[in-house]
Structure formats: structure tokens, C-alpha cells
Amino acid sequence: MIKVVGGTYREIDYDDISIEIYGSGFRATKFLLENNCKVDFNTVGNNDTIIYLNENQKVYNGFTFECKEYNEIITFKYSFSLDQPTIFPHLLTISKVEQLNIKSENIIAFGMLEADFILDGNKVVYDPQTPIKPKKFSEFGKAEELVYIVNKNEAFSIASSEDINEIKNYFFNSEKAKAFIIKNGPFGATLYLKDKEIEIPSYITNNVNKIGSGDIFTSSFGFYWMMKGLSLEDSAIHASRSTAVFCDKKVYVDTSILDSFDYTEFHNQTISKKQIYLASPFFSISDLILIDKIRFAFLSFGVNVFSPFHDIGLGDETAIATKDLEGIENSDIIFCVLDNFDSGTLIESGYSLAKGKKIIGYHRTCNDNDLLMLKPGNIHFYKHLTTAIYQTIWNL
């Protein structure tokens, strides 16, 4: 049995056109229950939350929960999953319930907006869930064996340093961690043990349903380590594989029992030397907001981006066109926003096609017949923005 501590939140995703109740805590619980692991879930929510969890109890044997009463379900709204979510109510107005006190042999804990907790366990996996003043485990917990799972910004914040040697020293000596894992999106993760570092691969998937992928990595890692008795290295590898299957198909799979695993590892050590060209209209406010968010998402992966609006701006049309074409020539892949069939974007697409460039086409509204002239080229079309962005990175 594993005790899970974490939030149960409403999630709205415009990219996926979905409204669901999950949150880190319940999504982790769902993975464990789907793999026949008994779970005692500790969370916070209102009467609707309790009704929802009661309905899940009818489906899963071995599912118990305790839900501290709160006045509403906190909502995360995503335009797409690589963008920062809007949170309702506002963070400054979220009050906290009485502290949760959790003691168990095995604990998977996620940082929560509306609750603090005290943990006492044998094996504990802790995912702080925020880079903004994340709580250090040493401030509230005791564990015989502690594994931190964080992203880069959380690691920097907890250790108050961006130097990996200082980070390792802090996690091992100040936090007394047995190990810690730093996740790095499409580039996989690194497992840090006291005596070595192990690169954990990521995998190329057809679809990228990213919301909750970190929750799946954390919960599946705890499952493999606590319930299946795998080594820390094998647990991390299978956690990455379970995350890949979730991102692709939104299912919860114990990959350690699969006869084969058909996803390809992603390896690209030269991505910082690559350049993406953004072909997109930038006339309406919605155009400008979208291209700004797409550009920021690519930059966050450490790749170079050439965006005509950001890098050239407005001015003499002939001079701009010349610089645009030079940007295409110097880029490794072209990302095209094709909705509304902007004439400039179509010209950029056609020029890229003539130059034999790799092209990723993103749209939500285009008829396939209208894209016919682009199809002979090295181009792939996607209607899901997060998937389109990841496929661009994977095709560099």
C-alpha cells in the first residue's frame, strides 16, 4: 500500500479541448490503482471533490481516501500545456486548511496550494510541484529513504544555486536524500546517486498529452521502487517509459511487465546549435499572443528561434522579405501556423518546400484539401499545439 498526498484540482486545457478533475495527487493515485496497487489518498476539496472520489471508489478496490474540507475546487486553465496556467482563485487569495499529518511505510507526496503537511515514512518520494519557494523536505518530513523528484528550476531554488556540485551537496548532505532526479522535458532526466549520475532517456511519441506527465513520472517511479522492488535506476527508466505511454495514449501502464517497448529514445546533443524558423501571421492580438507563446516555449528548450516579428519587426517590406528568406535558409526546421491561410506564411511555407526544409505545420481549422500543395514536401501536420512543438524538437 502507498499513501499519496496531493491536490485534487480541475484542469481546463484549450489545446486538448478538455475539462477534467485530476491534479497531481489524484492522477498519481489513478496510476497506482490502475496497476492494482492499494492507495490511501490524502487530499483537500469541497463536496463535489468528495462525490467524485466516492464514485472512483466504486471502480477501484483498495482505494481509500481522506479529504479535508475546502470551499471549492481549485482550477488550472491552460491555453496549451507548455504555457503557464491561469489559476482560480488567484494564488494570493487561496487559504490553507489545517495541516495534514501523514505517517506510513510508503509515501508519495506532492506540494499543494491549499495545505501544508508533516510526513513520517520509511520510503518517501517528494515532488514539490513549484519552482517558487518550494518547501524543503527537511522542514516538514522524516524518512528512512528519501527521493526528491524536481525540475531544474525547483532544484536551483531548493539548493539556492545553479551549480550542480553545490546542488548535489545540498540534496545529499542537507536534505539527507538517498537520491534525487532532475527532470528535463523532452531531454529526459538525470538520476543523481551519491557515487554516480545516470542519464534517463525520454522517448519520442506520436502524441504529447503533457499535462500530468510529471505526476505520472513521480507516481510510477514510487510504484516501481516501493511496490515492485526495482533499483532506483530501473525505477527511473520505467517511470520514463510509463510517462511516454501516458503522453501518447493517456493510459497508465506498468512497463516493467511488457514484453516489448516500441518507443524510440530521443538523443540530440547539438540542439543548442539548431535554429527554428517561425512562420506565422502577426496582425491581430490573438496572432501576436500565440506566436509569442510558441516562441517562448521553443526558447525554454534551449534552441535558437528566428521569428520575423521578434527578430525583424516592422519596416520596409522588401528589406523584411529579404531577411525572412535569409532566416529560412539559415534554419534547420520551419514551424508554420497555417490557420487562416495568411499569404505571407504560405509563401514562407512554399519557399521552405522548394528548399527541401523540414516543416512542421500546426493548424486547428484547415481543410486537408487546402493543404494539398504542401504535402509532397517533408512536412507533418498537427492540430495539437504541444505535440507540434515537441515534434519540432524531435525532428531537429
Q: How far apart (Å, rounded) are the C-alpha atoms in residues 347 and 334?
A: 12
- pLDDT for res 289: 96
Do 308 and 361 form a contact (C-beta atoms < 8 A)?
Answer: no
Closest by CA position to 342, among listed 298, 308, 312? 308
> What cell does 305 get?
528561434
Q: Which amino acid is at 263?
A: Y
List pLDDT tens digits, range 279-304: 999 889 999 999 999 999 999 999 99
Rounded-to-5 percentages of helix, strand, coil across the chain: 40, 25, 35
Q: How far apart (Å, rounded) are the C-alpha atoms in residues 349 and 340?
A: 14
Cis peptide before 186 (omega within 30 of 0): no
Q: How far apart (Å, rounded) are the C-alpha atoms in residues 198 and 181?
A: 9
Q: How far apart (Å, rounded) are the C-alpha atoms in residues 152 and 320?
A: 38
Q: Which amino acid is at 368?
A: D
Low-confidence ranges of the chain (pLDDT < 70): 314-319
Number of Cβ within a 10 Å radius of residue 249: 13
For strand 117-127 and strand 100-110, is the pairing parallel, antiparallel, or unpaired? parallel
The kind and range of the H/E element at 99 are none
Do 355 and 378 form a contact (C-beta atoms < 8 A)?
Answer: no
Q: How far apart (Å, rounded) are the C-alpha atoms in residues 176 and 100?
A: 22
Q: How far apart (Å, rounded) are the C-alpha atoms in residues 45 and 50?
A: 7
- pLDDT for res 268: 76
- pLDDT for res 207: 97
Q: How far apart (Å, rounded) are the C-alpha atoms in residues 59 and 259?
A: 28
Q: How far apart (Å, rounded) are the C-alpha atoms in residues 75 and 358?
A: 38
Beta bridge partners, 148, equal 126, 180
- pLDDT for res 318: 66
Q: Which conformational region is residue 212 in: left (phi greater than 0), alpha (psi within -120 to 50 degrees), or beta?
A: left
| pTM exceeding 0.75 | yes
Q: DSSP H helical segments within the chain, as ranges?
A: 23-34, 47-57, 152-159, 164-169, 213-222, 232-249, 285-300, 308-311, 317-329, 343-354, 385-394
Reduced to 3 states, what is the DSSP secondary structure of residue 178? coil
* N residues, the chain: 396
